[in-house]
Amino acid sequence: MIRIHNLHKSFGDLQVLKGVDLEISDGETIAIIGRSGCGKSVLIKHIVGLLQPDFGFVEVNGQIVSELNEKELYMLRSKFGFLFQGSALFDSLTVEENVGLTLSENTPMKKSEIRTIVNEKLELVNLRGILDQKPAELSGGMKKRVGLARALVTNPQYILYDEPTTGLDPITSDSIDEMIYDLSKRLKVTTIVVTHDMVSVKKVADKIAMIHDGKIYFIGTHDEFMKSNDQVIMSFIKRTGY
Ligand SMILES: Nc1ncnc2c1ncn2[C@@H]1O[C@H](COP(=O)(O)OP(=O)(O)OP(=O)(O)O)[C@@H](O)[C@H]1O
Ligand SMILES: [Mg+2]
């Protein structure tokens, strides 16, 4: 499980996280929401050790992330699939190379073995016959799927999605949401979705954590969130146009 305790992070004078406490149990899907710039991406970067806390800590499977050495951090990261904001595919690489990159760079696996795994992960996200294509030839939704296949390549215990449906039309968004939900149940992965899309939240998440003013302002179900008569929550819902 993931335990975030009293996490503080500033950049210069800007205090972004001011004491975040959050527990994410194994197998659950949690949506992290909040206004643009409130620190959602900063928070999830701490989970995989891409940022170091000023104070407080993140614990994953009993290990304090900021105390790990390089090798331990590598081991920890291999338990995570990460779909970055934007798909972050390499334009010069084919789909096969993009999805298999972690394996070709970090394991002694043969090309044919990697291809088998790549194909298996592409099947999971309903993509076939595109191994030799380059990202530029793919639609936005397909790129997200390829990014997702790449995130799955190490058989992660956790998947982090940063804004998986941003920039997609409603129908494509729907299919990505379905995939996130389906994968979370089928692979029994613990799923963390950062999003400002309340439609997605309702479809995929067991639980919502809302960041406001550097802390977890709300934690609960989608229904509890929608029924809240707290001013901050009501104005957030209104602003998302949901
Ligand atoms: N590496 C960094 N150096 C300096 N400032 C940063 C850095 N990373 C994030 N910030 C600042 O921290 C704040 C929170 O950023 P973050 O990316 O977490 O927002 P967010 O909630 O993910 O927003 P969005 O919904 O727009 O993606 C922003 O003001 C941002 O400019
Ligand atoms: Mg962000």
**Nearest-ligand number for the alpha carbon of 211:** 1
The predicted structure's pLDDT at residue 197? 86
In whole angstroms, what is the distance from residue 110 CA to residue 130 CA?
20
Ligand 2 centre and the CA of 117: distance in Å? 30
What is the mean pLDDT for each group of 10 consecutive residues in the chain (242 residues)?
98 98 96 95 94 98 96 92 82 96 93 96 92 94 91 93 88 90 92 91 95 98 96 92 74
* pLDDT score, position 18: 98
Which protein residue's CA is at the shortest distance from atom 13 of ligand 1? 37
Cα(first)–Cα(last) distance of the chain, in Å? 31
Rounded CA separation 1/62 (Å): 8
User: Which residue's CA is the closest to the ligand 1 atom numbered 18?
Assistant: 39
Residue nearest to atom 30 of ligand 1 (CA): 37
User: What confidence score (pLDDT) does residue 43 get?
Assistant: 97
- Residues with CB under 6 Å of ligand 1 are 11, 14, 16, 34, 36-42, 196
Q: Are 10 and 16 in contact (CB under 8 A)?
A: yes
Can you tell me which atom of ligand 1 is nearest the CA of 163?
27
- Ligand 1 atom having least distance to the Cα of 38: 21
Distance (angstroms) between ligand 1 centre and the Cα of 190 equals 24
> If we measure between CA atoms, which residue out of 175, 176, 124, 179 comes closest to residue 152?
124
Domain spans of the chain, in order of start: 1-79+191-242
Task: Please say whether the structural domain 1-79+191-242 has been given the CATH code 3.40.50.300.
Answer: yes
- Considering the entire predicted model, what is its pTM? 0.91
Q: Choose one of 41, 50, 196, 211 to mutate for the ligand 1 pocket test, by most ligand atoms within 8 angstroms of C-beta.
A: 41
Residues at Cβ < 5 Å from ligand 2 ion: 40-41
E strands, the chain, are: 2-11, 14-24, 29-33, 55-60, 63-64, 80-83, 158-162, 190-194, 207-212, 215-220
